[in-house]
Structure 1
Amino acid sequence: MTGRQRMRSTFLPRSLRPTRSFRSAALSAGALVASASLAAGCGLVPGATGGSGDDSIVVMTWAPEGTAATNKPGMPAFARAYARWINANGGLNGRQLKVLTCNDNNDTVDAAKCARQAVKANAVAVLGSYSQHSESFLPHLEGAGIPYIGGYGVTNEEFISPLSYPVNGGQPALLAGLGKELAAVCGPVALVRPDTIAGDTLPAMLDAGLTAGGHGKVVDQRAAEDATEYSAQADAALKEATVEDGSGENDKGCVIPALGDRTGTFMDSFRRGRGDYPTVRTATVLGSVDQTVINSTGGASSAFEGAYVTGWYPVASDPRWDPMKKVISESAFSDTRIDPADTGVQTTWIAYTVFRKVVESLGGGAVTADTVTGALDDGLKVSTGGLTPTLRWEFTDQLASIGFPRLVNADVTLQTVKQGRLAAAKEGFVDVTKTLENADVD
């Protein structure tokens, strides 16, 4: 039985799921005991104890920090800032918010440790987090009935688990939207992506978009996620994205790096090798590039100039982000890890916005993992101030047919790099639900 099939077998209506007390009693001793090394990997907003003996609401946010691969330190840092801000403004329905943070170190064992710490602390939700190791942490959360709200969308399991409540369409939506846009303007398309389980799903999503636009399939180029240089992969991708059209001119092919934090490193190799392939262009997705990467690779003279970039949300300069920026301004204390243009930080903001709406919907009632999931499963509609469409999680949503029953937001934005700055290429959102329905994900 595949991992996806195992996850589907647990996808039960809420009325048929075990209660929290039953689940807690059924947990093994290993799932309840956190070692001293676990505590070293997790933190709490100053002044909080992490226990559940008072009337505080305990949640957790995790992400990798200080690793050789993708790092998202701004996500837990923003979660801490949000707790300071909300508590200074009366808390959640008058109750203090306590935020545990944890470093999953891009490691399966540490990801599971973070989840066990959330269980031990009686966290009512894990919010706005990033991890590539959902198969390690989700079973612990599912066993304890703890909802996972606003994961980054980097793994397929986030769109399958009955206790996952994604706020964006993850890499599937970004790549499908990008492929659909590039189909009309690119010759051959080469994708450079991590040689990981999560990376293995990316070509099918890009192909779905390319096919929808009448284009041929992408050339899949794998690369080590923690490489220090990508000369071989850059050269191979440039060659694959170039063909002779018979007149001596090269087709305008496109290379798409989707390497997370390593995209900037790849672009160094790409720039050095591009001299022999001057017509090859590049395009990518937010999360693999942001304004910082564009600046570091040359700004207006970088290889990203003129590139299309798909994102989940409006550009960082959009006034709809002003409430998030207010939190950063008032409570981040000049923490340089928190960048309002970082899609990780933006996702964490939206996740906490969702959670706040859930708590408000409960009025003065108990805030537990069960009541939180109950509110979400009973059809609560959540507005995010226009940063996403109104969110509502059904038992199985429209994309259940391709194995993504929890993917409720398939909207993407199209951006482009103009004079070294990310700007909106089209107004509003593009819904790629129909495109994803045709994706070959097997």
Structure 2
Amino acid sequence: MHLLRRISTGGIALCAAAVTITACGSENSGGTTSHANGKVVLSIIVPTHTAPPTAPHAISAVRAAATAINAKGGINGKQIEIRTCNENGNPNDAVKCARQAVSDHSVAVVGSYSNSSNQLIAPLVKAGIPLVGFNAITPADYACAVCYTFDAGNTLSFAGMPAALRASGARTVTAVTLDLAAAAANVSAVEQAAKAAGLQTVPPVKVGVTSTDLAPAVQAVIGSKADAAVSVLPTEQTTAFIRAADQAKAPFTFGVVDAQVQSVLSQFRGTQGDHVLAVGAYPPLDATAAYPGLVQYKTELDAQEKTGDKDAATRDSISLRAWLSVHVVAQAAAGITGDITAASLNNGFRTAKDIDLYGIQPKWTPSAKGHVPGFDRVSNARVFFMRINNSKLVPAKPIAGLDLNTGKPF
């Protein structure tokens, strides 16, 4: 138990140190109000272009939750109106989308995703608009004054990787990374987190930026004698590496964050995913017996899909987080008397206790402090360990996850 706690806190602090933290600025009075039509305006900002990363299904999830809440009377009798903006994977467009949310008098930005998080967050902080359920990828995303994160996010999930590998029996680890100077910080984070977990490290295996044949990289890992490798690759090359490792009958475990493989799970047949160990902020979506809130998620997304929204058929942790974010806003706003504004919603979050995340995550008190160094605003920091079986993520054994705040497995 003590070892797991040392893994969780030591590794995360090192990962955080490897990322440049940009200050989010100060929060203003937050005078943004609900739209003049009397509805509560919520915005979602995600990339919806065809090239990865893309997340139109997050919009579907937000709409599904809003429809379900509206059918029960909305938020304090007011209907939710969803506004969307495509940030195109471009930092300039991310800024435009944030400014559009301000112009739209959005009460909150929910379930959003962007690799340009620093650029997106700054205008929202200046306007005092809550950013709820953002797919956090840097420490700054967790720390800004109006950011409300109710799960571990990608950064903390990645930091839980060493514990997952150690639990799977690994003792020596390497990183598989793009051959770019910009990737050095990520590799350093992997190596330092691995050492904090008591794992030995060997030099990283580098892959050309345009490489499509990952067989040489697989052979390099085998030759290194490492019994685990961590992917610091984009989805396409991660997928190619998994296939090449299966063809080579590679003996090592390959660690990934669930976001690297969720969109391509259907491609893994037979034994291809047997050596993959995934970590993420949410349980497998089929684990409805252990997490009954997933049934409600499925029901509401099914209803959205029946409206002709084909993107609602895509279900993953991005979609689940987006869906939860709308329900979280509704609960935080339930105690507001008078107008629902960005300012009153911020106050609602500051005073809310035990927001129900439907058993998918523990109940969440936004003002509660976490215990992971550098992430004190993250009071829910569960990381789930998963394997791939029949093109689906399933709980890993013998340990299905780790609470990074307590160091206790579950």
Question: Which TM-score applies when normalising by structure 2?
Answer: 0.82
**Cα offsets for 1:201-253 (capped at 9, x unmatched):** 644654465334311247556768xx664436x6346414533xxxxxxx462
Query: Does 2:347 match 1:377?
Result: no
Question: Whole-Å Cα distance in 2 between the matches of residues 196 and 383 of structure 1?
Answer: 43
Give the distance between the partners of 2:205 and 2:318, measured in 1 at CA.
25
For each residue in 1:18-38, what CA deviation from the matched residue of structure 2 results, as whole angstroms up to 9, or x when unmatched? 4235xx8xxxxxxxxxxxxxx
Which residue does 2:12 correspond to in 1?
A: none
Q: Helix, strand or coil for the counterpart of 2:323?
A: helix
Equivalent in the alignment of 1:216: 200
Q: 1:228 to 1:58 in 2, by over 3 A?
A: farther
How far apart are 1:258 and its partner, in Å?
4.7
Q: Aligned partner of 1:407: which letter?
A: V
| 1:101-132 residue CA offsets vs partner (Å, 9 max, x unmatched) | 11111110010011000000110100011011
Q: Is the 8 A contact 2:174 2:230 kept in 1?
A: yes
**1: CA distance, partners of 2:180 / 2:22:** 20
Q: Which amino acid aligns with 2:330?
A: R
CA RMSD in angstroms, aligned pairs only: 3.2
Return the alpha-carbon distance in structure 2 between the equivalents of residues 358 and 324 of structure 1. 19
Counterpart check, 1:296 vs 2:275:
no
Find the counterpart in structure 2 of residue 416 from structure 1. 387
Distance 2:56 2:96 in 1: 18
How many aligned positions are there? 382
* Matching residue within 125, 129, 141 for 2:108: 125
- The whole-number CA distance in structure 1 between the counterparts of 2:314 and 2:270 is 21
Name stretches of at least 5 consecutive residues in structure 2 with no aligned partner.
1-18
CA 1:223–1:370: 2 relative to 1, 3 Å: farther
Could you list the per-position Cα deviations for residues 330-349 of structure 1 after superposition, in whole angstroms to 9, with x for gaps in the alignment?
23324332246311101101
Identity of aligned residues (%): 23
- The equivalences for 1:6-405 within 5 A come to 6-7=23-24, 10=25, 18-21=28-31, 52-183=35-166, 185-192=169-176, 202-203=186-187, 206-207=190-191, 209-217=193-201, 219-220=203-204, 229-231=211-213, 235-236=216-217, 238-240=219-221, 242-243=223-224, 251=225, 253-259=227-233, 262-272=234-244, 278-290=250-262, 293-297=264-268, 299-302=269-272, 304-319=273-288, 320=292, 321-332=294-305, 333-339=307-313, 341-362=315-336, 364-394=337-367, 397-399=370-372, 401-402=373-374, 404-405=375-376
Which piece of structure 1 moves more, 406-415 or 209-218?
209-218
Q: Give the Å deviation of 1:187.
A: 4.8
CA contact (8 A) 1:182 1:210 kept: no
SS across alignment from 2:43:
strand
TM-score normalized with structure 1 length:
0.76
Partner of 2:16: none
Distance 1:330 1:60 in 2: 21
Task: Kindly provide the amino acid, as one letter, of the partner of residue 83 in structure 1.
Answer: A
> Distance in 1 between the 2:178 and 2:119 partners?
19
Which consecutive unaligned segments of at least 5 residues does structure 1 have? 12-16, 25-49, 244-250, 436-442
**Is contact 2:130–2:146 with CA below 8 Å preserved after alignment?**
yes
The CA distance in 2 between the partners of 1:268 and 1:3, in whole Å, is 30
Moved more, 101-110 or 215-224: 215-224
